[in-house]
Amino acid sequence: MNASVENQIHFHELHPQSKTHPKEVLEGLKSVRKNLNPKFFYDTKGSELFEVITNLEEYYPTRTERKIFETYSQDIAEVCGIDSIIIEPGSGSCEKIQLLIPNLKPKAYIPIDIAGDFLLDSVNKLAENFPELPIHAVQADFNQLDNLPNELPNGSKLVFYPGSTIGNMEPEKALEFLIKLSEWIGNDGGILLGVDLHKPTHQLNAAYNDQQGVTEAFNLNALDHLNDIFEANFDKENFSHKAFYNEQLYRIEMHLVSDCEQCVEFEGEKIQFDEGESIHTENSYKYTRKQLSSLAADAGLTLKETWLDENELFSVNLLVRA
Ligand code: AVJ
Name the residue of 39, 50, 57 whose CB sits within 8 Å of the most ligand 1 atoms, as the mutation to test its pocket.
50
Tens digit of each residue's pLDDT (9 = 90 or more) over 91-119: 999 999 999 999 999 999 999 998 888 89
Half-sphere exposure of 201 (CA within 13 A, CB side): 9
Pairing of strands 278-285, 251-258: antiparallel
Pocket lining: 53 vs ligand 1, CB cutoff 6 Å: yes
Name the residue of 53, 252, 284, 313 whose CB sits within 8 Å of the most ligand 1 atoms, as the mutation to test its pocket.
284
pLDDT of residue 71: 98
Q: Are 157 and 184 in contact (CB under 8 A)?
A: yes
CB atoms under 10 Å from CB of 186, counted, come to 10
d(Cα 220, Cα 49) in Å, to the nearest integer? 11
Residue 18 — pLDDT band, cuts 50, 70, 90? low
Instruction: Provide Rg for the chain, Cα atoms.
Output: 20
Pocket lining: 215 vs ligand 1, CB cutoff 6 Å: yes
d(Cα 208, Cα 241) in Å, to the nearest integer? 10
pLDDT of residue 76: 98
Tens digit of each residue's pLDDT (9 = 90 or more) over 20-49: 799 999 999 999 999 999 999 999 899 899
d(Cα 96, Cα 163) in Å, to the nearest integer? 9
d(Cα 164, Cα 169) in Å, to the nearest integer? 10
Q: Are 278 and 255 in contact (CB under 8 A)?
A: yes
Whole-structure pTM value: 0.95
In the predicted structure, residue 255 carries a pLDDT above the cut 80:
yes
**Number of residues that this document lists for the chain:** 322
Cα 163 off chain centre by: 6
In the predicted structure, residue 233 carries a pLDDT above the cut 70:
yes
SS3 (DSSP) at 176? helix
Tens digit of each residue's pLDDT (9 = 90 or more) over 261-304: 999 999 999 999 999 999 999 999 999 999 999 999 999 999 99
pLDDT of residue 121: 94
- Measured from the Cα of 243, ligand 1's closest atom is 12
In the predicted structure, residue 81 carries a pLDDT above the cut 70:
yes
SS3 (DSSP) at 307? strand
Tell how far the Cα of 123 is from the centroid of ligand 1, in angstroms: 23
Instruction: Give percent of the chain with pLDDT exceeding 70.
Output: 97
Q: What is the 8-class DSSP label of residue 132?
A: T
In the predicted structure, residue 137 carries a pLDDT above the cut 60:
yes
CB atoms under 10 Å from CB of 64, counted, come to 21
Tell how far the Cα of 284 is from the centroid of ligand 1, in angstroms: 6
Pocket lining: 285 vs ligand 1, CB cutoff 6 Å: no
Pocket lining: 282 vs ligand 1, CB cutoff 6 Å: yes
In the predicted structure, residue 82 carries a pLDDT above the cut 70:
yes
Q: What sign results for the dihedral spanned by CA atoms 201, 170, 47, 139?
A: positive
In the predicted structure, residue 6 carries a pLDDT above the cut 80:
no
CB atoms under 10 Å from CB of 129, counted, come to 11
- Measured from the Cα of 252, ligand 1's closest atom is 4
Pocket lining: 167 vs ligand 1, CB cutoff 6 Å: yes
**44-54 and 61-80 helices cross at what angle (nearest 10)?**
80
pLDDT of residue 30: 98
Residue 152 — pLDDT band, cuts 50, 70, 90? confident
Beta bridge partners of 130: none
Pocket lining: 165 vs ligand 1, CB cutoff 6 Å: yes
d(Cα 174, Cα 193) in Å, to the nearest integer? 12
Residue 151: exposure state from Cβ atoms within 10 A (0-12, 13-18, ≥19): exposed
In the predicted structure, residue 17 carries a pLDDT above the cut 70:
no
Pocket lining: 284 vs ligand 1, CB cutoff 6 Å: yes
Q: Which residues have CB under 8 Å from 59's CB, separation 6+?
A: 53, 207, 210, 215
d(Cα 274, Cα 257) in Å, to the nearest integer? 10
Tell how far the Cα of 287 is from the centroid of ligand 1, in angstroms: 14
